[in-house]
Amino acid sequence: MAVARFSLPRRGVYAQAMLPALPIADILAGQFYPHHFRRYDLLVRARVARAWLSDEADVQAAQESYEAMQRARGAEVNLPRFRALVESVATEGLNPDFPIGLSPWGPLLDGAHRLAVALVVGAPTIAVDVRPSPIPPDYSRQWLADAGVVEADLHAADVLLDKYLATTGHDHIAVIAGAMTDDILRQLAPGVDIISVREAPLGEETIVGVEGALTTVAWHEHHKRASMPAPLLHPGVHQVVRFRLSRPSWTRIPKTHTRTSGLAATIAEQLQSTGVNALVGVTWTHNRNAVAVLDQAGVRVWGPGNAG
């Protein structure tokens, strides 16, 4: 029998009082195998939910791609029930009594509709039920294409994937003072894939927000610490780098960010040791908050034209 590697209890009569939750950034990490995203069906669902909540013009196209996907899966096509779920989560939030199912090694087992809506509403975590089970089929981009989803709809899914990998904190954010040099690229290169590099002038208010986002640590109360030491960035031109851990051993869901944060912290130390003022997101919270601050300042690290 498989053992849940993040030491979460299985849901059952003895686990009713404890509904463990995981960061959605970590759950997305578990859907890569080995390096391709195997749950494009999540993105099709998310597109429909976004269209309903925002009355987007492509609602009809979104619904049609959803229907084509469900038929190819041999699953029920029930738009009214899905819409009721979307509206319920948007108004009342996620119900922890209905966790999504995860295998001990990360792949999603059930609850794709709930996870898709959680992505749309920007929920940071979701209740999970970790249990041994056969891994579901690989619903990759190619699978959608084979199912008859047209290229325009596949592109819409690509854009959503890029957005959610950034806005959930799955990808790491580094803010580096000054110009990008070969030395800096060499410090970033080991073990990571650089997704985008955006040069942008950052004002004082944005610098303060970025420093807060990328240094605040949620320590336990007994640690009595609020933040990690960080170099002081100054208003001016900075490089905003988005990168992703590329080694397979770091792409599975961890219970904590011990391994991933260790690599990100090492990158920050390497940059700072060379005299470069830089802040690097260590946890999913760091990265998620940094993206929000930068987006508010008009520096978008996701979207068409940004992905590497």
Domains of the chain, CATH where assigned: 21-166 (no CATH), 171-296 (3.30.70.260)
Least confident of 20-29, 126-135, 158-167, 185-194: 185-194
Q: How far apart are CA 150 and CA 66, in angstroms?
A: 11
* Percentage of the residues of the chain whose pLDDT score is greater than 90: 50
pLDDT digits (tens, 9 = 90+) for 31-42: 988 778 999 999
pLDDT over 60 at 250, yes or no? no
C-alpha of 140 from chain center: 17
* Strands annotated E in 178-289: 192-202, 236-245, 278-280
pLDDT digits (tens, 9 = 90+) for 196-245: 999 999 999 999 999 999 887 655 444 444 445 555 788 999 999 999 87
Give the residue, 29 or 164, on which the prediction is more confident: 164
Q: How far apart are CA 42 and CA 115, in angstroms?
A: 7
pLDDT for 230 equals 56
Q: How far apart are CA 56 and CA 176, in angstroms?
A: 36
